[in-house]
Structure 1
Amino acid sequence: MPTASGHTTAIRATRTVGTDVYNLDGEKIGKVEDIVLDKTDNSIMFAVVGFGGFLGIGEKFHPLPWASLDFDKEQDGYVVPFTKDELEAAPADSIDELTKDDGLHARQEAYSYYKVDPYWN
């Protein structure tokens, strides 16, 4: 069954992790490093997107609301509706910190920062 943007509603996590992420200007900003799941709600809490760094040094990990990633076939990657400045100023931490305490703090921070309606309300 397709979504409003014409995509299927189901995707395997293995197809998502490692996929490039682009901003609105078409610049590659990073890739999906992981997906954090809400086991009790059967939802995706957020995607962990790695930005910057070189060979894993200095890389920042950003929690992005899953609904903000839109797959673009032409770029063979996800496009997010945020500017480079918004992404650079966004909440970021290590993957361990993002998932600490069940990821609730990172989830709240990400949805609030990006002004995405929370799925859990």
Structure 2
Amino acid sequence: MASIATVISSDRVEGTSVYNAAGDKLGTIDDLMIDKLSGQVRYAVLEFGGFLGMGTDRYPIPWNMLKYDTAQDGYVVPLDKATIEGAPKYADASVPDYDDRYTTSINKYYGF
């Protein structure tokens, strides 16, 4: 009996589509933010907006909100586009320090 892999390389996660529960594509995963002490993924950074990769914003979403859906070959989040658009974000050229203040703002926004 074949076993199912329970880990995945980050380069295979980056670029994966993210959908809402209705099946609408919200964007793609641009990056993963990993806790330096625990080694656990804390946030998936969702990229969407702009045109041809220009002017896109990055939205960190708590990793535990994403659920992989094999039927869609992507991740599903219980969020709609308007909710994500109001979330903490940054431009590609201005990645913030993921310090306590910034991570608290992300977690508070998503109710953690």
TM-score scaled by structure 2? 0.85
Q: Which residue of 2 aligns with 1:119?
A: none
Cα deviation digits, residues 33-88 of structure 1 (max 9, x gap): 00011111222121111011111222110000000111111111000011221111
The structure-2 alpha-carbon separation of the partners of 1:9 and 1:97, relative to structure 1 and needing over 3 Å to count, comes to: farther
**Structure 1 unaligned blocks of 5 or more:** 1-6, 117-121
Aligned residue for 2:90, secondary structure, equals coil
Aligned residue for 2:29, secondary structure, equals strand
The Cα shift of 1:108 comes to: 1.9
Runs (4 or more) in structure 1 with deviation over 6 Å come to none
- Determine if the alignment matches structure 1 residue 114 to structure 2 residue 83: no
TM alignment of 1:1-121, pairs within 5 A: 9-95=6-92, 97-100=94-97, 103-104=98-99, 105-116=101-112
Percentage of pairs with the same residue? 38
Number of equivalent positions: 108
Cα distance in 2 for partners of 1:8, 1:111 equals: 29
The Cα shift of 1:114 comes to: 0.9
Cα RMSD between the aligned structures?
A: 1.8
Structure (1 or 2) with the greater helix fraction: 1
Structure (1 or 2) with the greater strand fraction: 2
**Structure 2 unaligned blocks of 5 or more:** none
